[in-house]
Structure 1
Amino acid sequence: MAYRPSKSFKKTALGSGAALLLAALNAPAALTFAEDTYHSYKIRQSSYRIQYGSWGLVDLPEQYRINAMHAALLHTGKVLLIAGSGNNQKNFDKGTFDTILWDPRDNTFKKIPTPEDFFCSGHTQLPDGRLLVAGGTARYEVLDGKVTRAGGGMRVKNESPDKAVTLRKGTRFRSPSGVEYQAKFDVTVPRAKREFEVTYGRGGRMTPWKTKVVAAEARVFVEAVRAGAQGLTTEAAQYEVVGLKGKDADNVYGLAERLSVDKQDFQGIKSAYEFDPLAERYVPVDPMRDARWYPTLVTLEDGRVLAVSGLNDVGDVVPGDNEYYDPRTKKWTKGPFHYFPTYPALFLTRGGKLLYTGSNAGYGPKDKGREPGVWDLRTNRFTKVEGLEDPDQLETSSSVLLPPAQDQKVMVLGGGGVGESRLATRRTAVVDLKEENPVFRTTARLPQGTRYLSSVLLPDDSVFTTGGSTDYRGRSASDIHKAQFYYARTDTFVAAADPTVGRNYHSEALLLPDGRVATFGSDPLFADKDNTKLGKFEHRLEVYTPPYLYRDPARRPVLGAGPQEVEWGGRATFKAADTGRVRRARLMRPSAVTHSTDVEQRSVELGLTKTAGSVTVEVPGDPTLVPPGWYMLFVTDADGTPSEAKWLRVKAPPARPAEPQPEGPQPES
């Protein structure tokens, strides 16, 4: 007789089979859970942290969660996080602009009234510790196919030498055919200039003076009042200003060559402000000469600031008009002419020239202004620097002046192709500016092709790099959850602990005075691997604690009381216990970072002498090496473990009074 299992056996067997099947189906999830549990356990171990460091999320109350586009460390130890409208047109339309001040010592936050849209502005540290913020957003882009009214740039002319003319937003311009356009912003046109001409007749006799009036000009973006094809123009024409009468109507008019329904880019503003770290507020200063969106601001050796590039008030890349800001007069003046794509990485080098590494962020043609070079501001001579591998993948790359600054070596890391390219490079390269004919030389490669990489100088002379993505704006879930240290002396990358939060476009990282690194932001295009869901801005704030802070805390160098100011070439003495452990001293300039661009940070080696209870540091006397301003002073031991920073302001020595000249004739030399 054939064997038949009992009903109970069938149930048991079926139950066991189902359990085995369920276990098999859930095996990957169970394995992942086990791996995650073990990883969570492992990264909490002291041995792991001493080797790799650790990451921690900051508890960020909901009312302080903003789209942090810009981050700057102030000499109060607080971090200014600027969103402006935060790449959110609804905020822009409502006039909702945000800035948050974060104190990392106690993780407290404060909202700062924000007077204008500083989204995609430029910023730099000023000699007195204020932060200059210039430029921002005047208008959001309108993409191809969504432009319904013809628009473009119009030049407004004023032929009156007697008065300037201001036309308010909404002023209408009428074409010869009767089509009307309206100004989208206020525009002020200066007075025309009177120029005198001298002519000579027969015999060289001078004829009476003749006066010529040269019209003044300003630019404004205009848009057709009505939608439709009637607003399209392809030929140059003169436009009357509706509402002006008499001489004003004759003297003031518009000129435009082409008004179209092509894509309309973001447009910049001219506004400039200084953020006062003590009063914790924005203070308006004179506006720039040109509107700028995505500009770079770099502080020079004399304390002035050079503003470079950006999209102007009609959405074009500024064609090469750069300008200086003087913090003493709060005014702007014309600078040397040179074209750069937006957010160019420009570093002040020894001797006062600027190095353009080729790193940039986003706007400009593929074949213009992208080659690295040394720019002499005095002569306006630009000398190209050759040798860079993957020169077509410099957009969204990172650049740093390697520590110490005295070595004059600048590094470029990663980057991608222009625009929405899928290209990303592992290339890193270093140029030694002390060489007679400097060239880039390829150095250790990144673990993988990386765009939007954040690179932060640390007090132990390493470069901490973190985040980024392999594709445009983290497309296809390509964020890189990795971090590493770069050591210039050995030309090697060494792994660090993995960050929890992915960072790509609109992300930042900076060094804090306690030696940690804070990371902010990220603006992914999509939220899933298949690119079907729109991404959301990353609000989480994550802080990295390097391995050097997990060594014996009792043996960490400590700086005591000392001065807050020192002159170029001067000395500063600080109380210190166990000075035998102190080996090196560094001045580190605080960051002002956005779009993978931080031209502020630099680490300067200091002379160091020690006594039983104090250390004395000597600051180089070269202002091109140490631009004026506030710095973090760190001392480190032989292992690179840093003290907490002391804030020290480097300033120019007082001007010497002119020596009295002896009276009477002087002998020839």
Structure 2
Amino acid sequence: MPYRPSQQFKKTLIGTGVTCLLAGLNAPAAIGFAQERLHEYRISRPAYMARYGSWEIMDVPSQYQTNAIHAALLHTGKVLLIAGSGNKQEQFDAGTFSTILWDPADNTFQRIPTPEDLFCAGHAQLADGRLLVAGGTARYEVLDGDVTRAGGAMRVKNEDPDRPRTLPEGTRFRSPDGQEYRSTAPVLVPRAQKTEDEKTGEVTVTASEAQVFVEAEKGGPAYVTDQPAQYEIVGLKGKDADNLYGLAEQINLDKQDFQGIRDSFEFDPVAEKYVRVDPMLEARWYPTLVTLPDGRVLSVSGLDEVGEILQGDNEVYDPKTESWSVGPKRYFPTYPALFLIEDGKLFYSGSNAGYGPADQGRVPGIWDLSANTFREIEGIKDPDQLETSSSLLLPPAQDQEVMVLGGGGVGESEKSTARTAIVDLTEDNPAYRDGPALPEPTRYLNSVILPDDTVFTTGGSRDYRGRGDSDILAAQIYDPRTETFTEAAAPEVGRNYHSEALLLPDGRVATFGSDPLFADKEGTRLGVFEKRVEVYTPPYLHGDRAENRPVLGEGPRRLERGETATFRTPDASRVATAKLMRPSAVTHVTDVEQRSVALGVERGSGGVTLSVPDDRSLLPPGWYMLFVTDEEGTPSVATWVHLP
């Protein structure tokens, strides 16, 4: 029987023929159109998709489109997309905060009431499947030249040991020369600390302190001061006036940075709502949250309530008490990539999202939380370009290898690098070594672990926030076993700053967001936040492999470390590997949650018995996706299991 082209192919040929005719009539644009049609035809061929995979832009109704700043996969299979004010000053001023819950199984969406501006918060998976979200935005930045009212940090002192005091937003502070400044937020000042000498009985009162940002009552340089001074609080009298006062080092017209909040919430994936818990000890904007072996969560770095980077004041959340306590003190720039490794230590890959001095906290290393010591790791190429880099704990997590990919210079630097680097943390003297280079220098690269133990990398841009029309419409798959990249199908949507990617339970990868600085190469038009959702289907879900995926059947929903669990499957003889994959919580190309842990596999008649490692540093408590794969790496659909 002769080959007959499909209707789609006929239309493509007709379109190409027409545009070729137009090209002959001196219509250069038609050539581009013809090439585009040819490309569309090529990437839609089954053979192409079986080799490179494919992309699909999802249909997102306009009322559910959002500026996805954060993305987290919940154990219900749904994806939480948090925008908060979405990097939009007008949304912040209006108190309009957004969260969208997306169900990729049927591509449905719903809006979730969002209680505070969780823009640029931190998040981590909790043991019971809730998502901890902490920090966010108290105030947007005001750039140099735009500051009209002098402002700065006011340290509020309380010498009263008997009661704390809450000063409302708008509290006035008066300088010795009569200038007045108003607080931009409420501030709680704890009671003073009173101690008594056991021998002499002498009582000592030590004043407590809290910070708040203040602005001048009026604009102009008359309110600028660089002299330290004590400020009275207007309206207080008698002992209150003596006990409560402000101290400021300087108040000026310099750039005013973003400011953080202390608010914390647990998102309940079953009730599908935020539940307020105790606030953090410190306000934080751009913090990293990382789950510890005992299920507690460490919160690190961030800008505080006056827009200053925290100097190592970290803290720990206990889900049992829903409260925070002081953690080990160590400084990092904002959104540091901290990975839980053996013995409960954390590895700082060097990746970060930037705020902080260029010469502090940028060196990778192993952080021993119990001793609060830090062992620096050397060997990385382009160490000045770790900001906006991607990093991950390579699969399987038992190998304790971390990879860093791409990155750029500090701040709005034009620098970017194609460097990748790998460190084996099991070595006596671990040091980074060069990995294979990316196809081109890339910032904001998203990297996602796949169930076949490869890593899918996509998007990014060459310049800061895609400046100069530098978005990279390319994707690669990295194989840790051969340490090589292979080409993957190219996405249609560019992704740079404020973009995310994560693995779905069906084995696909979803990508969200992107916040370009400009909408044209010349930088004459402001950029528009990318609201489209694009999903990548890897080669293992195309062709015969897609039709013959292993099926994982009945088995326990709860697994125990150090023990075995048996799951029914008609494909027992085909199962080659099994792994537990922790769901992502990603923002600013920082995803310290994702990890893939290999399980032992024993094949039986009609089922497989899986052995779970006995290591809480390898498998911190929480919900995991259980995948099995065949010899070709084709994965099953994930089964959700819980490790207490």
TM range (shorter): over 0.9
Which residue of the other structure, out of 472, 486, 494, is the alignment partner of 1:480?
A: 472
Equivalence for 2:497: 505
**Paired letter, 2:459:** G
Cα offset, 1:24, TM superposition: 5.5
User: Using the alignment, how far apart are the partners of 2:292 and 2:230 within structure 1?
Assistant: 43
Q: Does 2:241 match 1:253?
A: no
Cα offset, 1:196, TM superposition: 1.7
Q: Does 2:335 match 1:343?
A: yes
Equivalence for 1:129: 129
Listed one character per residue, the Cα deviations across residues 432-488 of structure 1 (whole Å, up to 9, x for unaligned) are: 000011000001000000000000000000000000000000001100000000011
Paired residues of 2:450 and 2:456 also in contact (CA < 8 A): yes
Equivalence for 2:618: 625
User: Using the alignment, how far apart are the partners of 1:474 and 1:629 within structure 2?
Assistant: 36
The 5-angstrom pairing of residues 307-322 of structure 1 reads 307-322=299-314
The 5-angstrom pairing of residues 437-448 of structure 1 reads 437-448=429-440
User: Using the alignment, how far apart are the partners of 2:233 and 2:38 within structure 1?
Assistant: 73
Gaps of 5+ in 1: 1-18, 199-205, 652-669
**Paired letter, 1:258:** Q
Cα offset, 1:36, TM superposition: 1.1
Equivalence for 1:530: 522
User: Using the alignment, how far apart are the partners of 1:172 and 1:568 within structure 2?
Assistant: 57
RMSD: 1.3
Paired residues of 2:20 and 2:30 also in contact (CA < 8 A): no
User: Using the alignment, how far apart are the partners of 1:380 and 1:350 within structure 2?
Assistant: 15
User: Using the alignment, how far apart are the partners of 1:22 and 1:271 within structure 2?
Assistant: 61
Q: Does 2:627 match 1:634?
A: yes
**Paired letter, 1:414:** G
Listed one character per residue, the Cα deviations across residues 639-660 of structure 1 (whole Å, up to 9, x for unaligned) are: 0000000001111xxxxxxxxx
Paired residues of 2:173 and 2:231 also in contact (CA < 8 A): yes
Report the secondary structure of 2:343's partner residue: coil
Listed one character per residue, the Cα deviations across residues 311-333 of structure 1 (whole Å, up to 9, x for unaligned) are: 10000111110000001100000
**Paired letter, 1:478:** S
Which residue of the other structure, out of 289, 295, 320, is the alignment partner of 1:303?
A: 295
Which residue of the other structure, out of 569, 583, 586, is the alignment partner of 1:590?
A: 583
User: Using the alignment, how far apart are the partners of 2:565 and 2:547 within structure 1?
Assistant: 25
The 5-angstrom pairing of residues 228-247 of structure 1 reads 228-247=220-239
Q: Name the larger-Rg structure.
A: 1
Equivalence for 1:35: 35
Q: Does 2:218 match 1:216?
A: no
User: Using the alignment, how far apart are the partners of 2:104 and 2:437 within structure 1?
Assistant: 33
User: Using the alignment, how far apart are the partners of 2:588 and 2:447 within structure 1?
Assistant: 12
User: Using the alignment, how far apart are the partners of 2:247 and 2:331 within structure 1?
Assistant: 25
**Paired letter, 1:557:** P
**Paired letter, 2:517:** L
Which residue of the other structure, out of 633, 637, 640, is the alignment partner of 1:644?
A: 637
Q: CA 1:565–1:452 in structure 2 vs 1: closer, same or farther (change >3 Å)? A: same
Cα offset, 1:27, TM superposition: 4.5
**Paired letter, 2:320:** R
User: Using the alignment, how far apart are the partners of 1:125 and 1:646 within structure 2?
Assistant: 17
The 5-angstrom pairing of residues 418-567 of structure 1 reads 418-552=410-544, 553-567=546-560
The runs of at least 4 consecutive aligned structure 1 residues that moved more than 4 Å come to 19-25
Q: Does 2:269 match 1:269?
A: no
Equivalence for 2:65: 65
Report the secondary structure of 1:606's partner residue: strand
User: Using the alignment, how far apart are the partners of 1:196 and 1:20 within structure 2?
Assistant: 92
User: Using the alignment, how far apart are the partners of 2:21 and 2:605 within structure 1?
Assistant: 73
Cα offset, 1:30, TM superposition: 2.4
Equivalence for 2:11: none
Equivalence for 1:6: none
Listed one character per residue, the Cα deviations across residues 616-636 of structure 1 (whole Å, up to 9, x for unaligned) are: 212111000001000000000
User: Using the alignment, how far apart are the partners of 2:237 and 2:495 within structure 1?
Assistant: 57
Report the secondary structure of 1:50's partner residue: helix
Q: CA 1:30–1:119 in structure 2 vs 1: closer, same or farther (change >3 Å)? A: same
**Paired letter, 1:85:** S
Report the secondary structure of 1:604's partner residue: strand
Listed one character per residue, the Cα deviations across residues 145-183 of structure 1 (whole Å, up to 9, x for unaligned) are: 111111111110000111111100001010000000111
Cα offset, 1:612, TM superposition: 1.3
Report the secondary structure of 2:588's partner residue: coil
Cα offset, 1:246, TM superposition: 1.2
User: Using the alignment, how far apart are the partners of 2:225 and 2:128 within structure 1?
Assistant: 50
Report the secondary structure of 2:565's partner residue: strand
Report the secondary structure of 1:42's partner residue: helix
The 5-angstrom pairing of residues 176-191 of structure 1 reads 176-191=176-191
Equivalence for 1:175: 175
Report the secondary structure of 1:38's partner residue: helix
Equivalence for 1:659: none
Paired residues of 2:22 and 2:30 also in contact (CA < 8 A): no
Equivalence for 1:109: 109
User: Using the alignment, how far apart are the partners of 1:344 and 1:118 within structure 2?
Assistant: 18
User: Using the alignment, how far apart are the partners of 2:133 and 2:26 within structure 1?
Assistant: 54
Cα offset, 1:378, TM superposition: 0.4
User: Using the alignment, how far apart are the partners of 1:600 and 1:23 within structure 2?
Assistant: 52
**Paired letter, 1:104:** P
User: Using the alignment, how far apart are the partners of 1:642 and 1:551 within structure 2?
Assistant: 14
User: Using the alignment, how far apart are the partners of 1:306 and 1:569 within structure 2?
Assistant: 26
Report the secondary structure of 1:312's partner residue: coil
Report the secondary structure of 2:222's partner residue: helix
Paired residues of 2:23 and 2:31 also in contact (CA < 8 A): no
Cα offset, 1:188, TM superposition: 0.7
Equivalence for 1:158: 158
Equivalence for 2:55: 55
